[in-house]
Amino acid sequence: MEALMIGVSGTRGTIGGTLTPAVVSNMASALAVWLNQTQKPINGTHFVVVFGRDSRPSGSWVRDAATAALVASGVEVIDLDIVTTPGVAMMVKHLNADAGVIATASHNPIMWNGLKFLNSSASALPPEDANKIKELYLAQANNYVRVEKLISAKKNSDTHALHVKRVLDYVDNNGISGQRFKVVVDSVNGAGCVTSATLLSKLGCLLVHLNNTPNGQFPHEPEPIAQNLTQLADELKRQKAAVGFAQDPDADRLAIIDENGTYIGEEYSLALCAAWVLSKRKGIAVTNLSTSRMLDDIAAKNGGRVIRTPVGEANVVQTMLRENAVIGGEGNGGVIDPRIVPGRDSLVGMAYVLQLMAATGKPLSQLVAEIPKYEIVKTKFECRREDADRAVAAVKQKFASEKIDTQDGIRIDWDKERAWVHARPSNTEPIMRIIAEAPDKATAERCIAQVQEVVKATLK
């Protein structure tokens, strides 16, 4: 069923279906109104918005529709063309812009596209701001200006080179280059093609680059999960490479395959990067409530600690900046180093994994084996928000004697068993998710069953 999804992660719809030029124009107009209502221009005269897009074939008209509405609202638009989502975030700060817009549908298939907004801090919008823009969109609000206030859109082609330079500033180039790692990368013909090739070349890697034309013609389902990466795994084994990396279309997520061709899961992207960063910089790591406790084990080993937030990149970034965290991210393959980009960045992930391999002299499979292993079990079911809220309240009452966190639904931790369950209503769909993690699958399933029993009794 086609739907227009508007939530904290932005707007997504189907091309020729729910995402039309009118929808894009109205959403961009709402952003302009929100800027006028809530901020003063950084340059003192007019608002500046940087615009980037992933490689989807629909991206050019989405850009044109959004740009038309923004220019008509008196906003100066700086067009970055096809760049990664973290690249847009970086350019928001670099160009002193008031906001950023990315035309992307992340890992969704080719028939989808959408808009993601960033604030002047270059981070995803907090829920309260995202909801305000949604209200303005539904009201079809606009703030179109007279001709004397129009500012022509400009182009900027610096993103790729600057992004690579920023990442290289925080790794040992010579140490990695000396290893001459053979690396296989699947960029899924997305926005990460150019920057990934440049970065890995600068790091002295022998690159085998699959699906490296940024034309948006995804050769397989673009979400970087195991069943979609068989080509990458097979090529890695054929090439006898040291590591395989997979990006999603806008290159903010990273999945990893080890030297044996084994998919090790997106959860390990953050874990491995944190193992490197926390070994060199003591401090705080930040992640959401649904991310593996591997991060807690790694932080404890290195004298650090973990702060958890509600699900959502904006929540993680806000907490990282407030707490001056040294590393953070989410278990979907999102790695965040705020010194480079205040958002998920697959280039940071690739560089830090290679840095860890070079510094330790260990193959990826051994580095993974040294991290305590857990099993994650996920389930979801259709549920209205009000019913999900009732279910969460009942679970809270049932497990009141346990260690609980109610920032986002409810998370129950059993530290002795090294297990947890997180039950929460979705921010974007009428569903409820229940996720559990434990050292073994049977324990994780048992933990989910305990919570499901309470939920079913409440909602029957």
pLDDT in tens, 401-447: 999 999 999 999 998 999 999 999 886 677 899 999 999 999 999 99
Interatomic CA distance for residues 393 and 215, integer angstroms: 47
Q: How far apart are CA 60 and CA 3, in angstroms?
A: 22
Selected catalytic residue, list 9, 55, 73, 106: 106
Cα 429 from Cα 385, distance rounded (Å):
9
| Fold of the CATH domain 375-459 | TATA-Binding Protein (3.30.310)
Distance CA 410, CA 106 (A): 27
Report residue 363's pLDDT band, with 50, 70 and 90 as the boundaries. very high
- Quickly state the pLDDT bin for 10 (edges 50, 70, 90): confident
Question: Alpha carbon of 56 to those of 108, 160, 220, 245: distances in Å?
Answer: 11, 18, 14, 21
Catalytic residue list contains 106 = yes
Q: Give the model's pLDDT for residue 460.
A: 80
Classified as helix, coil or strand, 149 is helix
Alpha-carbon distance of 38 to 36, in angstroms, equals 6
For the chain, give every domain's residue range. 5-157, 180-369, 375-459
Tell me how far apart the alpha carbons of residues 100 and 116 are, in angstroms, rounded to a whole number.
Answer: 8
Do 79 and 63 touch, CB atoms closer than 8 A? Answer: yes
Q: Does the domain at residues 5-157 carry the CATH identifier 3.40.120.10?
A: yes
pLDDT of residue 1: 52
Average pLDDT, the chain: 95
**Is the CATH number of domain 180-369 1.10.287.470?**
no
Beta strands in 166-316 (DSSP E): 182-186, 206-210, 243-247, 254-257, 284-288, 305-309
Please write the tens of the pLDDT for every residue from 142-178: 999 999 999 999 999 999 999 999 999 999 999 999 9
The pLDDT value given to residue 428: 64
Kindly state the average pLDDT of the residues 436-460.
94
Evaluate whether 5-157 and 180-369 have a shared fold.
Answer: yes
Q: Residue 265: which pLDDT band, with cuts at 50, 70 and 90? A: confident
Pick from 77, 94, 75: which is nearest to 35 by CA?
A: 75
